[in-house]
Structure formats: structure tokens, C-alpha cells
Amino acid sequence: MTRARQIHQIDGPFRMQNGVIQDPQIAYETWGELNFPKDNAILLFTGLSPSAHAASSDLDPSNGWWEQMVGPGLPIDTSKYLVICVNSLGSCFGSTGPSSTNPETNKIYGLQFPVLTLEDVARAGHEVVKSLGLNQLYAVVGASMGGMTALAYSVLFPEVPKSLVCISSAARALPYSIALRSLQREIIRTDPAWNDGKYTDGPVVGMQLARKLGMLTYRSAAEFQQRFGRELVSEERKTGDAFGINFEVESYLDAHAIKFTGTFDANCYLYLSRAMDLFDIANHGGSLANGLARVGAKRVLVIGVETDILFPIEQQREMATELDNGKREVLFFDLPSLQGHDAFLVDMDRFRPILCDFFNCTMSQPGTLKSV
Amino acid sequence: MTRARQIHQIDGPFRMQNGVIQDPQIAYETWGELNFPKDNAILLFTGLSPSAHAASSDLDPSNGWWEQMVGPGLPIDTSKYLVICVNSLGSCFGSTGPSSTNPETNKIYGLQFPVLTLEDVARAGHEVVKSLGLNQLYAVVGASMGGMTALAYSVLFPEVPKSLVCISSAARALPYSIALRSLQREIIRTDPAWNDGKYTDGPVVGMQLARKLGMLTYRSAAEFQQRFGRELVSEERKTGDAFGINFEVESYLDAHAIKFTGTFDANCYLYLSRAMDLFDIANHGGSLANGLARVGAKRVLVIGVETDILFPIEQQREMATELDNGKREVLFFDLPSLQGHDAFLVDMDRFRPILCDFFNCTMSQPGTLKSV
């Protein structure tokens, strides 16, 4: 069953929380084989920017965004599990979103796309699960925005996933994170090239600036200090006047922003970013506790990072505590990584043993699990 | 001697670290009277954005930026001390800076103004001190950028201040803070209205966005959570599309950004912001320890705030530890305020007793001092 990107076509109307779209597509990739009792599938939701390409495969040997986590003999072991990763509804890597053509008008949706919620993203992912003939999942897994989506999925379809893995995420967006994302969106929207969402080439400058702000929320001051200190770039790499690139840290951010821009559609970025702000598990039952009580999974793994400023560790602790209602097993890990919110992508040595133990893998260094 | 804004005219060339300017002016205000032995003067340096108007006076009864700290019977007691507050060289409230006219060309300096350092700001402040006939100061005091400037002053003129008060500041800029400021500057510079520094009305959008990012570095996530939670604005106050103002925290930032813009010149902001990046006390003697060893003051008060992400508390702790070389008295306070970097402007009840004790004031609630 190993193959590169698939498209699941939903025929007819798809009801979103704030509107209806026609015939949307959801892109996904799978790795590994479904077993006979059909109980070894793992559904993986992504953060804001990745595609469904979580790991390399024979048909697409390029590195995926979680290459060191998903694969044969890795913590999410594709020789034991069927792993399904979906590109979020609203994104721009094969799934329908604001940059897609509305079949009813033959025009790009742009800002006519309904306001997106992570519940919509979860429901679209479930369409893929159903299309594969699955009634249950071994686990639903997500980090960052994907962790919110996995949580939404666990509440919307409580009978489906037997376990939930929520990494560097939150049960609801807090105002500081909302403000940081709101400013990124405003930076994009005030770029004249955004043109009220009706662009052809897109707001390059706005996207680069927003990405730089994003980077500053994804990493930590301690990591920057260790990596860059007050190092200056060499004379020939200095750019512009006194306000151009002088420090190595400025050069680093610039290189990352340039790399990102052009790969991601601006309107999709706006919609997915706002969807995180709107997420609040209390919308399901009236309170955080009630919302989390609706999670059906019997095993839950919550991991957070102490230096994360976008999804602070206290949110993960609160989520783990509330989920630990005596009806399920809850494991909570508070990691002292320097890499902040992005640690799950770059500080893999801390995460792999925990995921490995949770998924009963057979890595050479499985690590040890401690409970809450 | 109580009077509103004065201008000290420096006649002839003023040598800055990176160039020479002609006949600059330094704006300042004073409160209180000089005593007979001329040993009761306190020099106050400001953060990036304030003017010299630290407190109200008979001639200018409007509230100053440190109204609750400077005045008769207040911690910096103007019935005991002569307080002098200078508008920084490079700023735009009476002192010469990028928005001033270059007397040699009769044109606005703009980007022709030499790259500014906080040592330049300190030296310009000292011109005012000399013009008032003072050979010594009871103290030099500063918070944020002003704390860096006060530290520079204490190293450049070690015989002049008998004591140093450094609040929410640092002995050098760290890469995360540099990156945050660099992004603010880039946001301003990429606003087409900035026009390579040759504007008439100024880059309003860029300044507003930069101010919002500034606000996010001046406050803390914990404060935002307490103040705003996930509160939505009322329907009639919602603006724009789904990406406009929906949450109270977005409305708050917008109101502050609009208030700020128009009061501060964009090029001045760029120069002062970069001056903070360039500040490193290690430039005086080759290392942080050597630089701080040059501080002449015999009494030092260092105050930091635990939630400050722009000038982290560890920088204040390091500064206090290094300054405590057995040759002087060093007091260090680590305050648990929620207000982050801006706490010295808004969480006054924590600061007043400490400053009061340090300056032997007679407040009704003087608080207690603990040493490092």
C-alpha cells in the first residue's frame, strides 16, 4: 500500500462550520499496510505549514517533515502500523482551500472560502479515514495545530481513535498566541501585493515578514543565545544600510523567510492561522473540562516543551490533568528542550523514546516512560 | 529651578562614535533644586520612546512618563534632589536626531545621521550635566534602553555618578532581542511610505505594525491571559473580514498602535532601536566583566522582572553578580510582576518601595531592601 500522494474526492456538498463547499478534495499519503483486523491505522494531522508528506517512501523518496519519526523501525513504525497523514482542509498542498477553484463559480475561492475551523479540518480528515474502510484508529496524532486538530477529532469521533497523542499543542488558543498570529496576518494583509486577497504572485514581502515573526515564536531566546550570541556576519554578507543584515541572527531569519515564501499560499496561511485562534475545546460542552471529557481515547500522551512561548507548557499540563479523569491512561511529559515550539521537529532525541514506548516500537534506545 | 523643557545647545562639532555632527541640541527637563555642595543631582535616561518629560511641573502640568516615581515625596524625591531627565540624542522630542535639519546642508538628516550608539546618547547627556555646572551626580538612573545608557554613562564617566540604578535593562543585547527589534525595523522599512527614509508623512502602517510587535515584547502572556482571556469584541466593534478585529486582545493592540503612531518619527525609531542592538559593555575592556569593572559607582541597584522577554531577568542577575566585585554595594531585585518589560511603567507598587529605600525617601510605605 506504500505510495505517494493520494487524493480523496468528496462528492457533493461538504458542510463546514461556517458554510458549505462543493466537491472538495483531501490530499493524503500513507505508509505501511493495514492488518487483518483493521486496527493498526494511525491518523496524523499536521501543523500549519506542512504537506501530507510526513516521510519518504518508494514513490516519493524526498525527506518528509517528520522523517526521523515515521518509518520502518522508527517510533511511529510503518512496518507495524498503517500511517495516514492528511493535508489539512484549507491548506494548499492538494487539499481544497482558499487557493483552490470554486467549482460553482470557476474562480479561485480567495476570501469567499468559508471561515475555517479545526473541527472542519478534523471532519475532512475523517472522510479519508472512512474512504479507506476504517471504523477505528489505533491512534490519532498531531503536533502544534495538528495537536488541536487531533483533539477536535477525538471529541467529534470519540469511538474511532483508541489513543490520542497531542504534542506542543493546546485545548484552546490563549490571547498572547492569538495576538502573535493576528499580527502575522495583519503584516500579510497590509502588504499592498495582498490586494484584499486577490493576488496573482502573492504578498512576498508580507509573507517573509510574517514568517520571521513566526520563527521568533517557534524557537526560544535560549536557543538563539547558544547558536548566535552576538556574532556579526562577514563584511561581504552585510546588506543594505545600518538597518540591514549585520548580526548572524538576522541572516538566519532572512534565509528561512526566503526559503518559506513561495511555497505557501498567503490566503491559506490566513485561514489556517485564524482557525487556531478560533479553536477552543470548550465549544464542545461549554467548558474546557466538559470538552475534554468527550475525548473517547483510552490512552492519551501529552508532550510539551518548557521553552515553548506559543503553546506554553502550562496548557499541556492543564490538558493532561483534565484528561486524567480516571477513565483513561494519561501520560504527560514536560521536556526541557531549548528549541521551543519547534522542538518536535528538530530536537528529536527527546521525543523519539517517548513516542517509541507509547507505540511499542523496538528502537535500540527506547527510553523510559513516566506517568503524570 | 522647576521649569519645563530646556534646550542645551552644543556649539561646534560633536563627535559621535560613527561620525561628527554640528551644533546639536539636547532637550532636558529638571525638577527640584541643586543644593549647596552640588551633590544632590540625579540624571535620568529614558527608554526608546519617551521625551524628557518624566513628570509634571508648574510650567508643564501634563503627566510625565514616570509621574508616579518622580516628584515631591515620591521615591525619586524632587524636594530632596535635583532631577535631570534628557531626551536622547537621536530622538525627536527636542534633541537632535535623524528628523532634525543638518545645519551643514539645511536638509533633514534622515539616513545621513551617523549610526547611533548608546555611548553617544550618554555623552550627549553629559554635555547637559556639564552645562549645569555639575562635576558629580548623586545617581544616574535608567530603565530599558535608559538602563543601558546609564550603564554606558557609568563606564564613560566613572568619577561622576556616586550610584547607578539600572532597571529592566542589560549589559548587552542578546540575539533574540536583536531579532525582535530587527523585525520591527524591517516592518517599518518595507512600508512603501518609508521611501528609504525620505518621507514626509511617514510610514504609518509600518509604524503601527512595529508598535504592535513592540507591545508583544513589552508585556507578558500571563498578563494577557489575565486581562483578555478569549473575550470577543462586541459585534459593532468588529472590523473588516474574518481577519480583522475579533478578539479583545486584537482591539487592545490596535488602540495602542494608533495612539503611538504620529508621535514618533520613524527614522529616529530605527536609529534608537539599532543602538540597543549595538550595545555591549564588553566593547569597554574586551569582556562583560572588564566592562562592568569600569563602573565607578559605589552603590548599584539592579532591578529585573521575571516575565520580561526582551531583557530577561538572567541578564540582570548576571549584571548584578559581575558588578558585585567587593568594591561597591550591589542590590539586586527579581520582581514577580506579570507586566513583563513594561512593569517599571505600570506595576509601580512593586518598584516604588525599592527606589524609595535606595534614595532614602520618606514614603509612608517604604518597603524593605534585601541584598543580592
Question: One-letter amino acid identity for B289?
Answer: A
Is there a contact between B224 and A270 if contact means CB atoms under 8 Å apart?
no
DSSP string, A190-257: TSGGGGGG--SS--HHHHHHHHHHHHHHHS-HHHHHHHHTTPBPPGGG--SSTTSS-BHHHHHHHHHH
List the grid coordinates of A152.
477536535
Nearest to residue A247, comparing CAs of A236, A257, A234, A260? A234
Residue type, A51: S
A221 in contact with B at a CB cutoff of 8 Å? yes
**Across A95-115, average pLDDT:** 97
* Adjacent-strand bridge partners of A142: A45, A166
Q: What's the pLDDT tens digit per position in B356-370?
A: 999 998 765 444 433
Q: Residue A185: how many CA atoms within 13 Å on its side-chain side?
A: 27
Residues 308-327 of B with CB under 8 A from A: 309, 312
Closest CA to B16 of B101, B118, B110, B153: B118
Does residue B199 have a pLDDT over 90? yes
pLDDT at B209 over 90: yes
Q: Does pLDDT of B35 surpass 70?
A: yes
CATH topology of domain A3-172+280-358: Rossmann fold (3.40.50)
pLDDT tens profile A59-97:
899 999 999 999 999 999 999 999 999 999 999 999 999
User: What is the Cα–Cα distance from A187 to A323, expressed in whole angstroms?
Assistant: 37
For residue B273, give the C-alpha cell: 532601536
Contact status of B211 with chain A (Cβ, < 8 Å): no
The region that residue A175 occupies, defined by phi over 0 for left and psi between -120 and 50 for alpha, beta otherwise, is alpha
The rounded radius of gyration (Å) of the Cα atoms in chain B is 20
Contact (Cβ atoms closer than 8 angstroms) between residue B356 and residue B163: no
pLDDT at residue A363, rounded to an integer: 60
What architecture is the B178-271 domain classified under in CATH?
A: Orthogonal Bundle (1.10)
B247-262: average pLDDT: 92
Residue B216 has pLDDT above 80, yes or no: yes
SS (H, E, C) A76-137: EECCCCEEEEECCCCCCCCCCCCCCEECCCCEECHHHCCCCCHHHHHHHHHHHHHHCCCCCE
Long-range contacts of B5-8 (CB under 8 A, 24+ apart): B5/B29, B5/B51, B5/B52, B5/B53, B5/B60, B5/B94, B6/B30, B7/B94, B8/B127, B8/B128, B8/B131
Q: How confident is the model at residue A370 (pLDDT cuts 50, 70, 90)?
A: very low
- Provide, as residue numbers in chain B, all residues whose Cβ is less than 8 Å from the Cβ of A225: 174-176
DSSP annotation of A172 reads: B
Distance, CA of B220 to CA of B307 (rounded, Å): 6
Res. A213: pLDDT tops 80 = yes
In whole angstroms, give the CA distance from residue A37 to residue A238: 61
Give me the residue label for grid cell 481544497.
Answer: A96
Sign of the four-CA dihedral A149, A150, A155, A157: positive
pLDDT of residue B353 exceeding 90, the answer is yes
pLDDT surpasses 70 at B165: yes
- From B177, B192, B229, residue closest to A192, measured CB to CB: B192
Query: Residue B303 in contact with residue B167, Cβ under 8 Å?
Result: yes
Q: What is the mean pLDDT of residues A232-253?
A: 88
The pLDDT tens digits for A112-132 are 999 999 999 999 999 999 999
ipTM confidence: 0.93
Cα distance between residue B327 and residue A341, in whole Å: 43
Residue A260 CB neighbour total at 10 angstroms: 18
- The helix (run of H) or strand (run of E) holding residue A45 is strand A41-45
Number of H-type helices and E-type strands within chain A = 11, 14
Contact A183, B209 (CB under 8 A): yes
* Residue range B184-210: mean pLDDT, rounded: 96
**Cβ atoms within 10 Å of A56's Cβ, excluding its own:** 16
Are B175 and A243 in contact (CB < 8 Å)?
Answer: no
| Out of B183, B241, B274, closest to residue A209 by CB | B183
- SS3 labels along chain B: CCEEEEEEECCCEEEECCEEEECCEEEEEEECCCCCCCCCEEEEECCCCCCCCCCCCCCCCCCCCCCCCEECCCCEECCCCEEEEECCCCCCCCCCCCCCEECCCCEECHHHCCCCCHHHHHHHHHHHHHHCCCCCECEEEEECHHHHHHHHHHHHCCCCECEEEEECCCCECCHHHHHHHHHHHHHHHCCHHHHHHCCCCCCHHHHHHHHHHHHHHHCCHHHHHHHHCCCECCHHHCCCCCCCCCEHHHHHHHHHHHHHECCECHHHHHHHHHHHHHCEHHHCCCCHHHHHHCCCCCEEEEEEECCCCCCCHHHHHHHHHHHCCCCCEEEEEEECCCCHHHHHHHCHHHHHHHHHHHCCCCCCCCCCCCCC
Query: Is residue A133 scored above 70 in pLDDT?
Result: yes
- CA-to-CA dists, residue A100 to A7, A113, A133, angstroms: 14, 9, 27
Chain B residues touching residue A242 (CB < 8 angstroms): 111, 115, 271, 274
CB contact residues (below 8 A), chain A span 270-309, against chain B: 270-271, 274, 277, 280, 309
Average pLDDT over residues B154-163: 98
Pick from A213, A230, A243: CB nearest B280 = A230
- Give the C-alpha distances (Å, rounded to integers) separating B291 from A308, B59, B124, B126, B330: 33, 40, 20, 19, 16
- The answer, yes or no, to whether residue B314 has pLDDT greater than 60, is yes
Q: Distance (Å, rounded) from C-alpha B369 to C-alpha B358?
A: 8
DSSP code of A349?
H
What pLDDT, on the 0 to 100 scale, is given for residue A263? 84
B19, B2, B240, B38: which is closest to B132 by C-alpha? B38
Does residue B3 carry a pLDDT above 90? Answer: no
Mean per-residue pLDDT over chain A, rounded: 94
Q: Which class is B3-174+279-358 in CATH?
A: alpha beta
Q: How many angstroms separate the CA atoms of A46 and A141, rounded? A: 9
Quick check: B229 contacting A, CB < 8 Å? yes
Is a pLDDT exceeding 60 seen at residue A3?
no
DSSP A264: B
CB of A120 within 8 Å of any CB in chain B? Answer: no
Instruction: Please give the mean pLDDT across all residues of chain B.
Output: 94
Local confidence band at A269 (pLDDT 50, 70, 90 cut-offs): very high
Question: Could you count the other beta carbons within 10 Å of the beta carbon of residue A131?
Answer: 14
- A168 pLDDT more than 60: yes
How confident is the model over A191-208, as a mean pLDDT? Answer: 95
Place of cell 519547534: A342
Which residues of B are tagged catalytic? 144, 308, 341
Is the pLDDT score of A372 beyond 70? no
What pLDDT does A191 receive? 96
Give the start-to-end residue ranges of the domains of chain A: 3-172+280-358
Interchain proximity A247–B277, CB inside 8 Å: yes
Cβ-contact A311, A341 below 8 angstroms: yes
CB A40 within 8 A of CB A81: yes
Q: How far does the CA of residue A44 sit from the closest CA of chain B (Å)?
A: 28
- List of residues 6+ apart from B235 with CB closer than 8 A: none
